[in-house]
């Protein structure tokens, strides 16, 4: 019997996850199909019911369903609860278990980029769903302080409870001219761009939330946006002397962790990266 793994989101047609997940399944000879199921929010309960069938191994969950899926799932793990969102569901004999592999995705991509988080000061731009996973990842990775700048300050303040004894969280305005942002950038070993600015078909494809002059050499700059591969933020970071890190690595690593949970097998990372890059090249 051919098994199925679903991608639940709305819209999902632009996603490159089916490309690199199917390549990984095929490379390991696993008889399964990874299918994108376009799921408007009102159809999420019925899509989750379908996931309980014997031939379904599980699912990925993407925008805008990650938070609502947490509410509806049988057994979310502690990480998903802390972040307030799930991105991976495993069908365990009709019981739906869920976790969030975005944290592992960020940590592995930073490891690949040679970034040491231990004791680091970090600037995080953005405070949406992905930013929540970034904050939890910074805590897991041993960062000392995360300074969050977001267009809507109230949304940034909602992230503060994710900090703790070991991780200080501060909120400052997203204002290039502000001394607070300048000082935070000066002491930051890592800057993470987690807004949808710069994303193709997003709110502003040509905008970077930070200008080149705020970056410096010896600093790493991760843009979690991965379409296009070269974003305005990454261009500004490179121009300012920082090490630019694109979001494709985070995407593939979070998918690889999901793959491990559905199949119980080590993910073929090289195959996944090659397929993801080929899929991106076709869109550019
Ligand atoms: P979200 O929950 O909708 O949050 C969007 C964020 O972008 C908020 O901080 C929002 O600020 C900010 N924003 C939107 N338009 C803006 C504008 N015109 N000016 C300034 N800020 C603006 O989205 P999300 O789920 O966090 O995703 C954010 C991005 O990350 C997306 O591009 C997504 O594709 C990418 N992502 C990548 C990965 C990966 O694996 N690489 C994983 C997850 C997400 P306000 O709070 O002020 O609205």
Span from the CA of 71 to the centroid of ligand 1 (angstroms) = 21
Residue 246 is given by DSSP the state: -
CA distances, 80 to each of 76, 87, 197, 239, 265 (Å): 6, 8, 25, 37, 22
Mean pLDDT across 133-156:
97
Average pLDDT, the chain: 96
Closest CA to ligand 1's atom 39: 251
Give the pLDDT of residue 165: 87
pLDDT in tens, 266-284: 999 999 999 999 999 998 7
pLDDT in tens, 233-257: 999 999 999 999 999 999 999 999 9
Span from the CA of 139 to the centroid of ligand 1 (angstroms) = 20
Give the pLDDT of residue 202: 86
Q: How far apart are CA 21 and CA 268, in angstroms?
A: 10
Which sign does the torsion angle of CA 24, 30, 33, 39 carry? negative
Closest CA to ligand 1's atom 21: 151
CA distances, 276 to each of 13, 170, 210, 229, 249 (Å): 15, 35, 27, 11, 9
* 66 tagged catalytic: yes
Give the pLDDT of residue 25: 98
Pocket test for ligand 1, best of 126, 149, 247 (most atoms within 8 A of CB): 126
Mean pLDDT across 162-173:
93
Give the pLDDT of residue 164: 84
Choice among 7, 19, 48, 66 that is catalytic: 66
Span from the CA of 58 to the centroid of ligand 1 (angstroms) = 26
């Amino acid at each position: 019997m051919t098994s199925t793994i679903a991608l639940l989101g709305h819209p999902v047609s632009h996603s490159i996850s089916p490309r690199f997940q199917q390549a990984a399944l095929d490379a390991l000879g696993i008889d399964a199909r990874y299918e994108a199921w376009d799921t408007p929010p009102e159809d999420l309960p019925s899509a989750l019911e379908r996931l309980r069938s014997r031939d379904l191994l599980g699912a990925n969950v993407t925008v805008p369903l990650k938070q609502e899926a947490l509410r509806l799932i049988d057994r979310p793990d502690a990480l998903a609860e802390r972040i307030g969102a799930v991105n991976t569901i495993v069908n365990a004999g009709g019981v739906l278990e869920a976790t969030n592999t975005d944290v592992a995705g960020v940590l592995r991509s930073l490891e690949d980029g040679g970034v040491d988080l231990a004791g680091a000061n970090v600037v995080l731009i953005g405070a949406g769903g992905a930013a929540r996973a970034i904050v939890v990842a910074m805590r897991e990775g041993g960062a000392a302080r995360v300074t969050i700048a977001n267009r809507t300050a109230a949304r940034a303040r909602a992230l503060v409870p994710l900090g703790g004894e070991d991780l200080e969280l501060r909120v400052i305005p997203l204002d290039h001219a502000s001394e607070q942002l300048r000082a935070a950038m000066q002491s930051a070993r890592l800057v993470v761009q987690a807004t949808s600015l710069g994303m193709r078909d997003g709110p502003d494809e040509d905008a970077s939330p930070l200008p080149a002059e705020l970056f410096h050499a010896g600093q790493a700059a991760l843009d979690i946006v991965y379409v296009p591969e070269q974003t305005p933020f990454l261009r500004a970071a490179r121009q300012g002397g920082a090490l630019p890190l694109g979001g494709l690595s985070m995407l593939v690593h979070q998918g690889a962790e999901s793959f491990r949970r559905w199949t119980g097998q080590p993910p073929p990372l090289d195959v996944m990266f090659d397929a993801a890059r080929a899929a991106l090249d076709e869109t550019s």
